[in-house]
């Protein structure tokens, strides 16, 4: 595999992880109108759950569904215990509560699993283990898993009764309540779904980075950038933006000397600012009040 191609594939796999977390952000925002700054930390928590299961000797592809189930339940629990109390509050309230959640979850993970850095096994086969070929494989694996998640979400929302009810709630919660839909439960389910999608992102990114309570900080910024590009609304644009950011970051870090390894993280900032400042987009991205 040529060097450039490998870089692009790796960028795509990193981008797929960003896209996954960004998708979780979009889900939460569409359901509850909240930008969940704690989404990355919830994903980190899920990753620790997966690690714990693997550590107990469970095979990876068995641990993944268990992790997902735990994450969904966790997301619903967070919505129920914390978010429901502030729903309909001002933007500052909502930002503050998710920020508080971020700090709390981060510290809780540190308390349980310590701040030590751990390695996380790579779930994809290393059978053809020649350095670059293997990383190419795992990159394709990451892309594949994210694609499966997106497909599952699409089917859920477009072709199931539960998905129809969710879309109705997103479209108009008041009318949904008048139609007898228990909106509170649906919103909880939305948080649960988002936590599940975020968990996939966390489990996939953990082998690329390392497992530690602060691992998702950078990923969150990329995911936020991707979600901003999709105006926190459009899942397709969001995923495309996530992939693009992954590639842009990898290429800029490798080929643009000034950027180097240190300034890679500035890429999403520039993207966010550029997008938000284009006049046409600014109008679109203004959150509806």
Partner 1 sequence: MNIAERTGRRRLAVGWEAGDRRQVWPWPRLTLAVLAVAACAVPFLLNPYRVFQLTMVLVYGVALLGLNLVVGQSGQISLGHGAFLALGAYVPAVATGPLGLPHPVALPLSALLAFGLGLALGLPALRLRGVYLAVVTLAIAVVVPPVIKRFGAVTGGSMGLSVSAPSAPSWSGLADDQWLYLLVLAVAAVAFAAVRNLLGSRAGRALAAIRENPEAAEVLGVRIAAHRTLVFAWSAMYAGVAGTLYAWVVGFVSPDSFTVTLSIVLLAAAVVGGPDSPAGPLLGAIFMTFVPAAAQGAGDAVPGLVSGLVIILVVCAAPAGLAGLLRMAAGAVARRLGRE
Partner 2 sequence: MSAVRRRSAAFPDGGPQGGNDPSAGGGPAGPPFLRVSGLRAGYGPARVLNGIELVVGEGEMVAVLGPNGAGKTTLLRALSGMVRGRGSVRLRGTEILGKAPEEVARLGVTHVPEGRGTFAPLTVEENLRIGAHLRRRSHVAEDMRRVLAYFPLLQAHLRQPAGSLSGGEQQMLAVGRALMAQPRLLLLDEPSRGLAPVTTRRLFDVLRAVNLHDGVTVIVVEQNAQLALEFASRALVMETGRLALAGEAGRLGPGRRVASAYLGPRR
Convert 177-209 to b/e letters by CB count within 10 Å (16 or more is b).
eeeebebeebbbbbbbbbbbbbbbbbbbbbbbb
**Residue range at the interface with partner 1 (CB under 8 A); choices 45-53, 150-158, 192-200, 255-263:** 255-263
One of 179, 236, 274, 282 touching partner 2 (CB under 8 A): 179
Give the burial class of 63: count Cβ atoms within 10 A of its Cβ; 0-12 exposed, 13-18 middle, 19 or more buried. buried
Could you tell me where the DSSP H helices lie in the chain? 3-32, 39-55, 60-78, 84-86, 91-113, 131-159, 161-171, 173-178, 183-205, 216-229, 235-255, 266-277, 279-285
Residue 26 touching partner 2 (CB under 8 A)? no
One of 35, 109, 165, 195 touching partner 2 (CB under 8 A): 165
CB of 108 to partner 1, least distance (A): 6
The answer for residues whose C-beta is within 8 angstroms of residue 157's C-beta and 6 or more apart is 163, 166, 167
CB of 86 to partner 1, least distance (A): 6
Residue 174 touching partner 2 (CB under 8 A)? yes
**Residue range at the interface with partner 1 (CB under 8 A); choices 2-10, 80-88, 138-146, 243-251:** 80-88
CB of 167 to partner 2, least distance (A): 6
Residue 187 tokens read as: 């919103």
Residue 103 touching partner 1 (CB under 8 A)? yes
**Residue range at the interface with partner 2 (CB under 8 A); choices 45-53, 87-95, 178-186, 259-267:** 178-186
Residues that bind partner 2 (CB under 8 A): 161, 164-165, 167-168, 171-172, 174-183
């Amino acid at each position: 595999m040529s060097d450039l191609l490998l870089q692009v594939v790796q960028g795509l796999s990193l981008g797929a992880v960003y896209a996954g977390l960004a998708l979780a952000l979009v889900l939460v925002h569409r359901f509850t109108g909240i930008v969940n700054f704690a989404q990355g930390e919830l994903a980190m928590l899920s990753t620790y759950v997966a690690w714990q299961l693997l550590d107990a000797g469970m095979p990876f592809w068995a641990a993944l569904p268990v992790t997902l189930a735990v994450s969904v339940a966790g997301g619903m629990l967070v919505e129920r215990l914390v978010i429901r109390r502030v729903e309909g509050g001002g933007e500052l309230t909502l930002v503050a509560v998710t920020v508080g959640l971020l700090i709390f979850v981060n510290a809780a993970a540190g308390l349980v699993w310590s701040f030590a850095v751990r390695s996380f096994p790579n779930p994809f086969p290393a059978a053809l283990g020649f350095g670059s070929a293997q990383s190419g494989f795992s990159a394709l694996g990451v892309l594949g898993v994210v694609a499966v998640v997106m497909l599952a979400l699409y089917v859920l929302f477009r072709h199931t009764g539960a998905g129809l009810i969710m879309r109705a709630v997103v479209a108009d919660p008041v009318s949904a309540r008048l139609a007898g839909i228990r909106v509170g439960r649906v919103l909880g389910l939305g948080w649960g779904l988002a936590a599940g999608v975020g968990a996939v992102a966390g489990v996939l990114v953990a082998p690329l980075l390392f497992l530690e309570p602060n691992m998702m900080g950078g990923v969150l910024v990329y995911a936020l950038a991707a979600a901003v590009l999709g105006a926190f609304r459009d899942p397709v644009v969001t995923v495309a933006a996530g992939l693009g950011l992954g590639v842009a970051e990898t290429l800029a870090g490798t080929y643009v000397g000034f950027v180097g390894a240190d300034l890679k993280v500035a890429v999403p900032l520039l993207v966010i600012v550029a997008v938000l400042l284009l006049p046409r987009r600014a109008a679109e991205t203004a959150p509806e009040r």
